[in-house]
Chains A and B, each alone.
Chain A
């Protein structure tokens, strides 16, 4: 099988850029273990429940807080749509659901470090201060006019899910704005 390359492969070269005396944040990428969207209609809640249960997830969660189970993360991205990251290739299906494999359609840009929130606040029109954007929370917004999902992992660590075709543009917008903070780019794992 052909090796799937990250669209960020050429960006993720180890190095230190921008303000030389500072190391405000690290930018990198990580492979998605597998990304699925399940979508449905009026009875979405009950149709989705067996899929969520099979992954150990309690329910569909809220539009604000990601759900976690061993090996699975779920984001409720719309009333009848849930995004699930799981390595399980045999995700359950039901006739009332549309299951869509997005594993190769999204890339993850990782941010880490004390200046991560400062960088995000330069690029999104949302309050990303620690009181307003807490670990475990996520939101969908736009960076550089591209729809993204930003997930807060801990006080200064974030995953940004980006459409693969725009990953390079979003990376550049983040990178340019990160330079004054001093940015370390991480090798693709």
Chain B
């Protein structure tokens, strides 16, 4: 069972959340004219074994978007922050 420590609600069962997307992807600059960066941004993802940053939505809770660290191998959950407070 995965439990996620929501900064707003506290420690909650995974069933209250939904996975959103890979949180390591960042959009190319709007004036980027090369095709490759856009292709990567839209379609290509790494498939890491180990720690990964992901967007999760606390849909049956505070309804905030979160950025959380999850280990894709062990399902351990690491740091969890409100997505709005993640600047990088």
List of B residues within 8 angstroms of A125 by Cβ: 12-13, 15-16
Instruction: Of the listed stretches B25-33, B40-48, B56-64, B69-77, name the one at the interface; the rest are far from the partner chain.
Output: B56-64
Give how many A-B residue pairs fall within 8 Å (CB-CB): 39
B23 contacts chain A at the CB level, 8 A cutoff: no
A78 contacts chain B at the CB level, 8 A cutoff: yes
A78 touching B8 in the complex, CB below 8 Å, given contacts A140-B60, A140-B62, A142-B60: yes
Contact B16 A78 (CB under 8 A): no
List of B residues within 8 angstroms of A78 by Cβ: 8, 62-64
Residues of B in contact (CB 8 Å), total 15
> In the complex, what distance in Å separates the CA atom of A77 from the CA atom of B6?
13
Contact B60 A145 (CB under 8 A): yes
List of B residues within 8 angstroms of A64 by Cβ: 10
Interface hits, A142-174 → B, CB 8 Å: 142, 145-147
> In the complex, what distance in Å separates the CA atom of A142 from the CA atom of B61?
7
A79 contacts chain B at the CB level, 8 A cutoff: yes
List of B residues within 8 angstroms of A147 by Cβ: 59-61, 63
List of B residues within 8 angstroms of A139 by Cβ: 9
* A binding-site residues for B, Cβ under 8 Å: 63-64, 77-79, 125-126, 139-142, 145-147
List 13 A-B residue pairs with CB atoms under 8 Å apart, sorted by A's residue number.
A63-B8, A63-B9, A63-B10, A63-B62, A78-B64, A126-B13, A140-B60, A140-B61, A141-B61, A142-B60, A146-B60, A147-B59, A147-B63
* B binding-site residues for A, Cβ under 8 Å: 8-10, 12-13, 15-16, 59-64, 82, 84
Task: Please list the 9 inter-chain residue pairs (A to B) with the smallest Cβ-Cβ separation, ordered nearest first.
Answer: A142-B60, A125-B13, A147-B60, A78-B62, A140-B61, A63-B8, A142-B16, A78-B64, A125-B15
